[in-house]
Amino acid sequence: MGQWRVASLPMAFKAAGTTGKLAERLPISLKIVLENVLRQGDWQAARAVIDWALERHSTAEVPFRPARILMQDFTGVPAIVDLAAMRDGMKALGGDPDQVNPLVPIDLVIDHSVAVDVAGRPDALAQNVTREFARNAERYGFLRWGAEAFGNFKVVPPGNGICHQVNLEHLAPLVVERDGQLFPDTVFGTDSHTTMINGLGVLGWGVGGIEAEAAALGEAIAMRVPDVVGVRLEGALPAGTTATDLVLHLTQMLRKVGVVGRFVEFFGPALDQLPLADRATIANMAPEYGATCGYFPPDSHTVAYLRQTGRPEDHIKRTENYLRAQGMWRDPNQEPVFTQVVKLDLGQVRPTAAGPKNPSDRHDLAAVPASLESCLAGFGVAAADLIKARQATQANPAKVLPGQGDIVLAAITSCTNTSNPSVMVAAGLLARNARAKGLKPKPWVKTSLAPGSRAVTNYLKRAGLDTDLDALGFETVGYGCTSCIGNSGPLAPAIAAHIENANLVVAGVLSGNRNFEGRVSPWTKANYIMSPPLVVAYALAGHMGLDLTTQPLGKSSDGEGVFLRDIWPTMEEVQAVVAATVTPEAFAEGYAHVEEGPAQWQALKPAAPSATYDWPQGSTYIHNPPWLANAATPPGTPHKLEGRILAMFGDNITTDHISPAGAIAAHSPAARWLERHGVAPGDFNSYGARRGNDQVMARGTFANIRLRNELVLGVEGGQTRHWPSGEQGSIFDVAERYQREGTPTVIVAGRQYGMGSSRDWAAKGTRMLGVRAVIAEDFERIHRANLVGMAVIPLTFPEEVTRQTLGLKGDESVTLTFPEILAPGCVAEAIFTSPQGKVVKTPLSVCVETNAEAAYLAQDGILPFVLRRMAGRG
């Protein structure tokens, strides 16, 4: 390795003796963890990772320090707000504000703020960019201040793509060269789908913004050495299937296996032929199958991708040499050891759609109509009415307004799939074939294409497929997340009014990764994830209840029925176009001006350079948050809490339910606050764009329009009851009332609480409402960590105990008793007392995984903990 100094894994294995021999077969994802702790000089932690190989399981705690931090603007703005607030806090503690500065490089890619206000016309991109800057100039000016004020912090301007795709195609080095050292690239991201980078062989996963901030400031993040589930992939995908079908199959399968909090690492003979873009699609969806990450070890496909995307040749060669020397290169002749192994024959994968409200709800295409029928039945729509609506869609070419089960949104969107040239080219070829047959999307379908990078536009243009997509209404609307994050924009007024007046249950189709309730659009109660070519196909069909395997999409210009099989491109056709057009030049052109941004960005005046931020009075976007109010004297962990149940939920409550990212509904607490501050409804923007203002976001907590609280049965939206009065109101208003009364509150919930996005505001908002503990059957990994980071105590019921078995109605008073010192594995006691005097008791597990987390709870959260340590008060 010449002059480069490295933490040598072969030497570590040799030093470990007999155990080291076995540990040479560690999963490569754990080898990266091992290198990380070795480079920190922590031999005790390194020994714990090596010893994992003995039992293939460990409870040991190790410190992890990522090489980089990745942010997007929805989560990045509040993160930079927090750093600015920490500078104020440092000054208040008598320290130097400049001490609050990232020690780990941060890349923030602005990609979540563009909305599909305009679609289906040639000027859609220009119009949407103009509106994006009109809405977000204040936020963008704040980020430009941050780029000036903080070292190690770079902003990628709007209009370049989605952060994970930009990371994959441009930012990630795979092996870092820094300060005379080579070491593996590792990433923490403030977005769940940071896991996409694992397709490149970079170990990375999503964390909450507050955890990312701590890591950026030099805090080693304590983690337990995880179980690693090996997924052996065999065989090859059948004709007519895509990487999207494969990942949806894996998502359903791994949800059933149960991989929450675990690493997943892929191996097996199928990897010999599995392109890196397909690996990235699979890795991207790790949050949907519940894993911390879905890791693919580097191999020849990795090197080929680095060349394809234009990385320098000397760096590529050095990277390969380093990975081979460290034993981090995939060896098909020596399989690693795993905690558990599951197998999948790719030949079993079939064309698929997942919905209507969870990515793991996978259906073969032939089964989609039945899933829609079941969904509509839940909204009181009879099967006969659905059949009539489908027949009307098929038989009436003059129809212009949707009916029950019709599709009103068709979006090619999301890094999951727009990063994959094969599915994007397939969509273009299908559009070309449909156009030749005279097919067009139904007039009530809002179509859009939002590539994850400009490289996609380049290779689609080289292939001439952009004109075919444009002809079907799939013009480019922006370079960002759009519909996948809920920025679908409005429907045509006549269509929106018809949906509301006729009480229709209509659908959206998208090539995204999330279709949770209330996320994609306020008008679509059913949403299905699928591959980009299927998005185009369903837009042509116009109705979600069609069986695309047996029923025609529509009629050709000569009156003949056209079936999906008639226009579906062959694998050979797709591969030929990819080989000819997806070249290093396409990526080089796409990233040539990545730092410049559009003219509106260049014209934006940043705030005056200063060490601390001059918080603008009256701003409804940026506000100094209250997290550090007790930094000088943290209150400590309560030993006894006597309070009330603020809300009680069932299973699968997502972070979208807790802290929605989409539109701010009229008459909601957030809307009322904005109107009091002079903001017109047309300028509300979204909750995601307002995350820099804690006053808005507290009012948006539990404000999802589809949220169901068991304290107010039969009611949708963020409603609850105050006790003992029994009066109903918004969750925010009732929480405020409890806080005025000095009554702490808790949340009670079912399984998989907090699944979905790594949304720190789901924890911040919970804390701002006065909630001190959340009691659930189990938690998704990131949200549990976020709650701890905000000093909200996560607790779980014992096995076989639930809110139902305890007979809880939500009107009980609650007493929680905690041990004197919180530590991993400790137990609390809960006593629930009904108004009639009935008392039920149960032990609860305190979900603290590390001693560091216990310290965060004791110090009122991770940010006060870090600030006190930096100021010499810890």
pLDDT tens-digit profile of 646-676? 999 999 999 999 999 888 999 999 999 999 9
* 725 & 577 share domain: no
Domain membership flag for residue 468: yes
Q: What is the rounded CA–CA span in Å between residue 142 and residue 693?
A: 12
Domain membership flag for residue 830: yes
Which residues, given as ranges, of the chain have pLDDT below 70? 1-6, 606-607, 874
pLDDT, residue 486, reads: 85
For the sheet containing 263-267, what is the strand order? 293-295, 263-267, 228-234, 340-345
Sign, CA torsion 272/275/279/281 = negative
pLDDT, residue 1, reads: 27
pLDDT, residue 11, reads: 92
CB contact at 8 A, 154 and 105 = yes
Q: What is the rounded CA–CA span in Å between residue 475 and residue 497?
A: 25
Domain membership flag for residue 605: no
* 647 & 586 share domain: no
DSSP 3-state of 782? helix
* 709 & 818 share domain: yes
Question: Which residue stretches of 605-726 are H helix?
Answer: 655-658, 669-676, 694-700
Q: Could you say which DSSP state residue 168 is in?
A: I
Q: Provide the pairing of β-strand 407-412 with 263-267.
A: unpaired
Could you identify the residue written with the tokens 């103009």? Answer: 130
DSSP 3-state of 424? helix
Tokens of 747: 């949340």
CB contact at 8 A, 727 and 721 = yes
* 711 & 571 share domain: no
Domain membership flag for residue 564: yes
Give me Rg for the CA atoms of the chain. Answer: 26
* 646 & 518 share domain: no
DSSP 3-state of 617? coil
Other beta carbons within 10 angstroms of residue 125's beta carbon come to: 20
Other beta carbons within 10 angstroms of residue 198's beta carbon come to: 30
* 580 & 431 share domain: yes
Q: Could you say which DSSP state residue 748 is in?
A: E
* 647 & 583 share domain: no
* 585 & 723 share domain: no
* 705 & 843 share domain: yes
Tell me how far CA of residue 188 lies from CA of 152, 192, 219, 225, in angstroms: 15, 10, 13, 17
Q: What is the rounded CA–CA span in Å between residue 633 and residue 868?
A: 10
* 501 & 564 share domain: yes
Q: What is the rounded CA–CA span in Å between residue 298 and residue 319?
A: 10
Q: Which residue segment(s) compose the domain that 466 sits in?
A: 352-590
Q: Which own/partner contact pairs does 811-815 have at CB distance under 8 Å and 24+ positions apart?
A: 811/645, 811/711, 811/721, 811/723, 811/724, 811/726, 811/835, 812/645, 813/642, 813/643, 813/644, 813/723, 814/641, 814/642, 814/643, 814/644, 814/645, 814/746, 815/640, 815/641, 815/642
pLDDT, residue 24, reads: 95
Q: What is the rounded CA–CA span in Å between residue 342 and residue 93?
A: 53
Domain membership flag for residue 232: no
* 527 & 648 share domain: no
Domain membership flag for residue 678: no
Q: What is the rounded CA–CA span in Å between residue 409 and residue 542?
A: 9
Tokens of 224: 């337990």
CATH number assigned to the domain comprising residue 419 = 3.30.499.10
Supply φ then ψ for residue 182, to 5 degrees: -110, 135
Tokens of 459: 């290779």
Strand partners, 730: 719
- DSSP secondary structure of 335-399: PPP-SEEEEEEGGG---EEE-SS-TT-EEEGGGHHHHHHHHHHHTT--HHHHHHHHHHHHH-TT-
pLDDT, residue 2, reads: 30
pLDDT, residue 608, reads: 73
Other beta carbons within 10 angstroms of residue 678's beta carbon come to: 9
Domain membership flag for residue 581: yes
pLDDT, residue 874, reads: 64
How many whole angstroms from its chain centre is CA 196? Answer: 10
pLDDT, residue 396, reads: 85
Supply φ then ψ for residue 841, to 5 degrees: -120, 150
pTM: 0.90
pLDDT, residue 748, reads: 98
Tokens of 30: 């754990």
Q: What type of residue is 794?
A: P
Domain membership flag for residue 154: no
Length of the chain: 874
Q: What is the rounded CA–CA span in Å between residue 749 and residue 861?
A: 23
* 522 & 387 share domain: yes
How many whole angstroms from its chain centre is CA 56? Answer: 29
56, 76, 92 - which closes a domain:
56
CATH number assigned to the domain comprising residue 790 = 3.20.19.10
Tokens of 701: 């907590």
DSSP 3-state of 656? helix
State how many domains the chain has: 3
pLDDT in tens, 428-448: 999 999 999 999 999 999 999
Tokens of 274: 């599995």
Q: What is the rounded CA–CA span in Å between residue 353 and residue 530?
A: 5
Q: What is the rounded CA–CA span in Å between residue 76 and residue 216?
A: 12
Q: What is the rounded CA–CA span in Å between residue 830 and residue 814?
A: 7
